[in-house]
């Protein structure tokens, strides 16, 4: 932030100076300086000044760089590590915590004041992981694992987005980041590690009968698919379809019936052939998975 302010004001000042000189040069109808003086202008303005300024700026930036992006260490197995995998066009999220592996999708929750390590991967094409309010971006490249660490300063809900063009619905690949007090976070994570209390709802049989479980996982059921987002606690998320629409029963039903209407190019096929009441029942059950 300070870096940005310093650079912006510096840039504005330099621009004003240059443009003023150009204006003076263009406007004056007489010779302003003699040739030797003009050569000195090139030397000082064109060479010495930028060299000194840039040297200072670089020194400052290099001093800043390690603090902004410390090398993640993963030193302690008890630490929280979050693995995010970019998929077309959603985010697979797995929390590794005290030997547990807790799956989620499209929403990331973080405790305030703790530095959290991320490992970033991709399964299909290149994506880029960016939550502007929490820190800089990092690409997710197939075949590679990139590491990033973030530390939230205050609680709130922040929007993130994919910033590497990844196909048709690149514009519809955003992310919700919720930062919480550490105690609340710990409680939330513990609840996520278990199946939802409403997992026995009536939509469950329909969900399994129509084959949703071959792509989606819902903890506590036979649904163990890995191709699509984990839906174990779908109802507790703020947004649906990777940050695109509000998480309401209607939107869930609409998405099941025709995902392409909300997200062109999504891998999920349309289930408009299902009876509307079945879709509603599944949507209601999913919304209840808190």
Q: Which of 115, 149, 155, 170: binder of other proteins (CB under 8 A)? A: 170
Q: Which stretch binds other proteins (CB under 8 A): 7-15, 104-112, 197-205, 225-233?
A: 7-15
Q: Do residues 146 and 140 make contact, with C-beta atoms less than 8 angstroms apart?
A: yes
Binding segment for other proteins (CB under 8 A), chosen from 18-26, 92-100, 203-211, 278-286, is 18-26
Angle, in degrees to the nearest 10, between helices 2-27 and 49-68: 160
Residue 17 CA to residue 26 CA, distance in Å, equals: 14
Q: In this complex, which beta carbon is closest to other proteins, that of residue 92 or of residue 128?
A: 128
In this structure, how many other beta carbons lie within 10 angstroms of the beta carbon of residue 110? 23
Q: Is 38 in the site for other proteins (CB under 8 A)?
A: yes
Q: Is 262 in the site for other proteins (CB under 8 A)?
A: no
Residue 102 near residue 94 (C-beta atoms within 8 A): yes
Show the site string, 109-128: x = touches other proteins by CB under 8 A, - = not: -----------x---xxx-x
CA 86 – CA 129 distance, rounded (Å): 8
Burial of residue 144, with CB atoms counted within 10 A of its CB: 0-12 exposed, 13-18 middle, 19 or more buried: exposed
8 touches other proteins by CB under 8 A = yes
Closer by beta carbon to other proteins, 28 or else 78: 28
Least distance to other proteins, CB of residue 207, Å: 28
Q: Which of residues 190-219 bind other proteins (CB under 8 A)?
A: none
**Segment 136 to 155, residues that bind other proteins, using CB under 8 A:** 136-139, 141-144, 146-147
Task: At 212, list the tokens.
Answer: 């949703």
Q: Rounded to the nearest 5°, which phi and psi values hold at 80? A: -85, 130
Does 226 help bind other proteins (rule: CB under 8 A)? no
4 is a site residue for other proteins (CB under 8 A): yes
Q: Is 269 among the residues that bind other proteins (CB under 8 A)?
A: no
CA distances from 32 to 21, 27, 29, 36, 99 (A): 11, 10, 9, 12, 75
Which residues ranging from 71 to 90 are in contact with other proteins (CB under 8 A)?
71
Pick the closer one to other proteins by CB: 135 or 225: 135
Minimal distance, residue 251 CB to other proteins, in Å: 14
């Amino acid at each position: 932030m300070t870096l940005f302010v310093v650079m912006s004001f510096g840039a504005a000042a330099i621009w004003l100076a240059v443009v003023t000189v150009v204006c003076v040069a263009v406007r004056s109808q007489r010779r302003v300086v003699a040739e030797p003086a003009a050569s000195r202008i090139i030397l000082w303005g064109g060479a010495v000044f930028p060299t000194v300024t840039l040297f200072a700026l670089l020194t400052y930036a290099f001093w800043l760089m390690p603090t902004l992006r410390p090398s993640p260490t993963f030193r302690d197995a008890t630490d929280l590590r979050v693995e995010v995998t970019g998929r077309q066009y959603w985010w697979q999220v797995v929390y590794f915590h005290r030997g547990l592996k807790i799956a989620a999708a499209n929403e990331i929750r973080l405790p305030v004041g703790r530095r959290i390590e991320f490992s970033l991967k991709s399964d299909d094409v290149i994506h880029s992981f960016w939550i502007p309010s929490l820190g800089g971006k990092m690409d997710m490249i197939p075949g590679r694992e990139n590491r990033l660490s973030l530390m939230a300063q205050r609680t709130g809900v922040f929007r993130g987005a994919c910033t590497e063009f990844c196909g048709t619905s690149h514009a519809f690949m955003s992310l919700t980041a919720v930062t919480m007090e550490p105690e609340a976070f710990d409680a939330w994570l513990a609840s996520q590690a278990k199946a939802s209390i409403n997992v026995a709802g009536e939509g469950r049989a329909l969900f399994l009968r129509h084959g949703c479980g071959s792509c989606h996982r819902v903890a506590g059921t036979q649904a163990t698919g890995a191709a699509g987002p984990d839906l174990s606690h779908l109802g507790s998320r703020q947004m649906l379809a990777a940050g695109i629409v509000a998480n309401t029963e209607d939107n869930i039903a609409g998405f099941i019936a025709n995902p392409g209407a909300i997200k062109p190019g999504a891998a999920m096929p349309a289930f408009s052939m299902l009876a509307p009441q079945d879709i509603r029942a599944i949507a209601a059950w999913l919304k209840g998975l808190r």
